[in-house]
Amino acid sequence: MNLRPRRRERSDINLTPLIDVVFLLLIFFMVSTTFKDEARLRVQLPQAQGDEIPAEEPDMIQIVIDRAGRFFVNDIELVDIKTAALARVLIEQRGQDTTMPVLIQADANTPHQAVMTAMDAASQAGLHRIAFAATRPDGEAP
């Protein structure tokens, strides 16, 4: 007969299933969490639905801004794209007529800063009647 006390086997906790569950929870929370993107603002630009320009256009100053941000005032390219230089050109173009309208035609991919520069220059030149050119959405009747 064996009267010696039995040694109990040390019971170890198997950590493998515990680690699996923790990783599954981590993946679940990573996938199901939504993060706020506060750095970007989503802006939905309006589409033009106005009247068509009549065949007889009134006298106006036309500012065209291409994709690269270059300015063309009445089909003449400006070398200096600073606000002060653009304002001087607009003052020359308007002469004594401070009620002359300004039409800004900007490419869809034009940087927003270029349009703001054109608006600032028109304001500095004393021109406050500003219009923007746009195209109708495809398939829309006038």
Residue written as tokens 């941000």? 69
- Is 51 contained in some domain? no
Q: Is the pLDDT of residue 127 over 50?
A: yes
Tell me the whole-structure pTM to 2 decimals: 0.56
Boundaries of domain holding 85: 61-132
The tally of domains found in the chain comes to 1
Residue 31's SS3 state is helix
In a domain, 14, yes or no: no
Give the span between the Cα atoms of 130 and 110, in whole angstroms: 18
d(CA 60, CA 102): 6
At what angle are helices 83-94 and 112-124 packed, to 10 degrees? 50
For the four alpha carbons of 29, 34, 38 and 39, in that order, the dihedral sign comes to positive
Count of C-beta atoms within a 10 Å radius of residue 107: 13
The CATH code of the domain that includes 120 is 3.30.420.270
Q: According to the model, what pLDDT value does residue 36 have?
A: 65
68 vs 41: which has the higher pLDDT? 68
Strands 130-132, 61-65: parallel, antiparallel or unpaired by DSSP?
A: unpaired
Dump pLDDT digits (tens) for 24-39: 999 999 888 876 655 5
* Residue 104 resides in a domain: yes
Residue 101 lies in a domain: yes
In a domain? residue 113: yes
